[in-house]
Amino acid sequence: YLAHQDEWESNARSYPRRLPIALAEGFGSYVRDVDGNVFIDFLSGAGVLSLGHNHPEVAKAAAGRLQVLTHALDFPTPAKREFLDAQLSMLPAALRDRMKVHFCGPTGANAVDAALKLCKTATGRGGVVSFQGGFHGATHAAMAVSGLVSQKEPITDGMPGVHFFPYSYCARCPLGLKPDSCETNCVSLLERSLQDPNGGIAKPAAVVLELVQGEGGVIPARKDFVQRIRALTRTLDIPLVVDEVQTGAGRTGTWFAFEQYDIEPDVIVASKALSGIGLPVAIILYDKRLDTWSPGAHTGTFRGNQAAFAAGVETIKIFHRDNILENVQKRGIQLQTRLAALETHPWVHEIRGRGLMWGIELADPTTKSPAVTEAAAVQYHALRQGLIVELGGRDDAVVRLMPPLNVTEEVIDQAASIIIDAVTTSCP
Ligand code: PMP
């Protein structure tokens, strides 16, 4: 399979290069490759499979819908209405009546693009502020507002008017400050730039923010950082777009991560895990006052995946019935507690995360430079021991752990043992 792919598939493919396996089937937190090897899957389709592979009830709901209506563009359908109502019901009460949904087609990057267009239309302004190390997708506009440089090379021109500011990456502060005395100077920098009439930047159409940078290395933003950005954008009347493509739909222990920051965003971008089992669907939820779009202003053929809608509704039912958010919190603490054994390891720079989204940043003990080779070795060692994990971060030196959200205590325990062994063996 891998040789066949080498010959016929685009060179841009990524995962199989570091994880050289061909997948045959999945079940819950496990996948089996074509040679019959079984792996614990802590990649979860890049955070998509919140209820694991082939969740039987969700798969059944999706399959049932496929026998009734497979495609309906953006016409109203019963499945779409149920999905929309279910999504709105997951918002905090204060936001529920203020928000509308736009169906974007069908990936996270498409939804980020839609959010940017919406804010530009509503404000009549150009320009976007986003953050160093952020990732928003691979379409041209989503890429242009992504600050994760490695994902943009070798595209040299971005989008005019995009300005990057430091993120609260305190383990390697971009301003060289200490977290307890920095007074979130990174936000002060943004504040000065937005307010300085001489030499500042023009008021942008939007500020786009990940609350936990996922691809950037699992970096939860500091609460004061987020709250100051929210206050600033409110004062200046700039829509705040939170990109919850990866953090949303339960990954961090609340339905959306912004709930943990006590803020109300103007636009929420959601996709990946909305259908629970990986059927494509992407939406933006946004404040009704931004809805200045004229009919047909933002279209797309695949904006009505009926099977994904049915799966999404079933997923939310299961979240309630099986207390999935509570499981995320409990299993997250379990994973964090086990990983604490690595905290004093000389190659471990920082262990961080929220809910079931964790990262172990590796660095050379002497130079503190990102331990790129060692991280790749940890990933490969884990694979050989039966655990699939992802790498991320500015230099791919962060080992990322993203189990399905209904993962059991036993599976977390087994995976934690493998990862501890992988770090210990690969970083001597
Ligand atoms: N935003 C964030 C925060 C993401 O993590 C991703 C995907 N990793 C995207 C946007 C893009 O989503 P997609 O790959 O579905 O286009």
Give 57-86 pLDDT, tens digit per residue.
999 999 999 999 999 999 999 999 999 999
Q: Which residue owns the Cα nearest ligand 1 atom 11?
A: 137
Distance 108 CA to ligand 1 centre (A): 5
Q: What is the pLDDT of residue 167?
A: 98
- Specify the pairing of strand 128-131 against strand 99-104: unpaired
Phi, psi values for residue 257, rounded to 5°: -70, -30
Q: What number is the ipTM of this complex?
A: 0.99
Mutate to test the pocket of ligand 1, among 44, 48, 135 (most ligand atoms within 8 A of CB): 135
Indicate the residue type of 103. Answer: F
Mutate to test the pocket of ligand 1, among 272, 283, 357 (most ligand atoms within 8 A of CB): 272
Q: Is the CB of 112 under 6 A from ligand 1?
A: yes
Query: Which residue carries 């920095």 as its tokens?
Result: 182
Q: What is the pLDDT of residue 386?
A: 98
Are the C-beta atoms of 244 and 87 separated by less than 8 Å?
A: no
The pTM of this model reads 0.98
List, for the chain, all residue ranges whose pLDDT scores fall below the cut of 70. none
236/203 Cα distance (integer angstroms): 8
CATH number for the domain running over 59-321: 3.40.640.10
Distance 202 CA to ligand 1 centre (A): 27
Nearest atom (ligand 1) to Cα of 247: 3
Nearest atom (ligand 1) to Cα of 213: 3
Report the 10 Å Cβ neighbour count for 38.
12
255 class by beta-carbon count within 10 Å (0-12 exposed, 13-18 middle, 19+ buried): buried
Query: Which residue carries 């933002």 as its tokens?
Result: 298
Joined tokens for residue 164 = 């990057």
pLDDT digits (tens, 9 = 90+) for 374-402: 999 999 999 999 999 999 999 999 999 99
Q: Is the CB of 29 under 6 A from ligand 1?
A: no
Q: What is the pLDDT of residue 377?
A: 98
Are the C-beta atoms of 271 and 293 separated by less than 8 Å?
A: no
Distance 133 CA to ligand 1 centre (A): 13
Distance 244 CA to ligand 1 centre (A): 9
39 class by beta-carbon count within 10 Å (0-12 exposed, 13-18 middle, 19+ buried): buried
Distance 151 CA to ligand 1 centre (A): 12
Q: What is the pLDDT of residue 81?
A: 97
Q: Is the CB of 374 under 6 A from ligand 1?
A: no
Q: Per-residue b/e over 172-188, b at no fewer than 16 CB within 10 Å?
A: bbbeeeeeeebebbbbe
Query: Which residue carries 């994990």 as its tokens?
Result: 389
Distance 257 CA to ligand 1 centre (A): 15
Q: Where are the domains of the chain?
A: 59-321, 323-400+413-428
CATH number for the domain running over 323-400+413-428: 3.90.1150.10
CA angle 203, 299, 212 (to 5 degrees): 50
Q: Is the CB of 400 under 6 A from ligand 1?
A: no
